Structure 1
Amino acid sequence: MTKFLLSLHVLAAIIAVGPITVAASMFPPSARKALAEPGSERAVSAVRLLHRICRVYGGVGIAVPVLGFATAMSMGVLKDAWLIVSMLLTALAAMVLLALVLPRQEEILEGIGGEDGSGTADEAGTDDGAGAGTRTAVGVKATAQLAMFTGVFNLLWATVTILMIVRPGSTTGA
């Protein structure tokens, strides 16, 4: 049963977290492109799709810690330091995604008119009335901040992955 649970856990991590890390990383440059090309439905559609991938796979991603916890229980490693650190980092990654990445993606998407097609830069706080140049400059700042939060999210997942492979202190660790 342990091998089955471990297999499901790893597959869930690959299938759920992989798309989030890639889509979230692609979002800031795609948003900058959409901000630089006002009225480009193709650019807005790309940003909308990347956000949807992050949202949907974020929901599916709950399977990763659930299966991981079940696997750890069957392996009898719930008290191991590497696993406790991994669980804490996983929780932190989820909080970064839910509190910092997804809300900022939504704000940027609303600012480029991508959520429902009716947003304006002023509604998202990305235009001070001075025109597209200011909107783009503020948008660049917002997308840079989003890129930083996305990098933190990705770094947390990379650290969890390394801990899961190396398992410091374990008899099977590298």
Structure 2
Amino acid sequence: MTKFLLAVHVIAAIVAVGPVTVAASMFPPAARRAFGAPGDADALATTRLLHRICRVYAVVGVAVPVFGFATASNMGVLGDTWLIVSIVLTALAAGVLALLVLPRQSAVLETAEGNGVVEEAPGGTATAARAATVRLAMVTGIFNLLWATVTVLMIIRPGSTTGA
């Protein structure tokens, strides 16, 4: 049963978290292209699609910690430090995605569609829109770094007796 749970956990991580990290990373440059060519329907459609991928796969990604907890419980490692750190980092990554990345993507998308207002910055609206995408890229990088750290912890499992 442990092998099955671990396989589902790893597959869920690849299928759910992978697309979110890629789509979230692609969103800021796509949004900049949409801002740079206001009449370009393709650039705006790409930005919408990337945001939708992030939202949908964020929900699907809930399966990753669910099967992770089931696997850890089956393996009897719920109290191991590496797992606790991984759980905290996973919760932080989920929080960054839900509270920072997705809302900022929504705001940037509304602005690109012409429905939102960008704070004025020196240099005008275009500068403010670019600044918003730069901040979004930074927050997305933090999200991706958290997931990369969790992945490394899952592979090397400090203190593991498996020899890995």
Q: TM-score, normalised by structure 1?
A: 0.91
Aligned alpha-carbon RMSD (Å):
1.4
Instruction: Answer yes or no: is 1:170 the counterpart of 2:138.
Output: no
Contact 1:32 1:136 in 2 (8 A): no
1:130-171 CA-partner distances (Å, limit 9, x unpaired): 9xx722211110000000000000000000000000000010
Match of 1:124 among 112, 117, 122: 117
Q: Which residue of structure 1 lines up, in the alignment, with residue 70 of structure 2?
A: 70
Q: Which residue of structure 2 lines up, in the alignment, with residue 95 of structure 1?
A: 95
Contact 2:5 2:70 in 1 (8 A): yes
Q: Which residue of structure 1 lines up, in the alignment, with residue 45 of structure 2?
A: 45
Contact 1:166 1:173 in 2 (8 A): no
Instruction: Answer yes or no: is 1:144 the counterpart of 2:131.
Output: no
* 1:126 Cα offset (Å): 4.5
* 1:18 Cα offset (Å): 0.2
* 1:173 Cα offset (Å): 4.8
Q: Which residue of structure 1 lines up, in the alignment, with residue 148 of structure 2?
A: 158
Q: Which has the higher helix share?
A: 2
Query: How many pairs are equivalent?
Result: 164
Q: Which portions of structure 1, spanning 4 or more consecutive aligned residues, are displaced by more than 3 angstroms?
A: none
Structure 2: stretches of 5+ with no match in the other structure:
none
**Structure-1 separation of matches of 2:77 and 2:43:** 47
**Structure-2 separation of matches of 1:102 and 1:157:** 16
Contact 2:118 2:129 in 1 (8 A): no
Q: Secondary structure in 2 aligned to 1:112?
A: helix
Q: Which residue of structure 2 lines up, in the alignment, with residue 134 of structure 1?
A: 124
Contact 1:167 1:173 in 2 (8 A): no
Identity rate, percent: 65
Residue 158 of structure 1 aligns to which amino acid in structure 2?
Answer: A
Residue 22 of structure 2 aligns to which amino acid in structure 1?
Answer: V
* 1:44 Cα offset (Å): 0.3
* 1:127 Cα offset (Å): 5.3
Q: TM-score, normalised by structure 2?
A: 0.96
**Structure-2 separation of matches of 1:15 and 1:48:** 20
* 1:89 Cα offset (Å): 0.2
Q: Which residue of structure 2 lines up, in the alignment, with residue 31 of structure 1?
A: 31
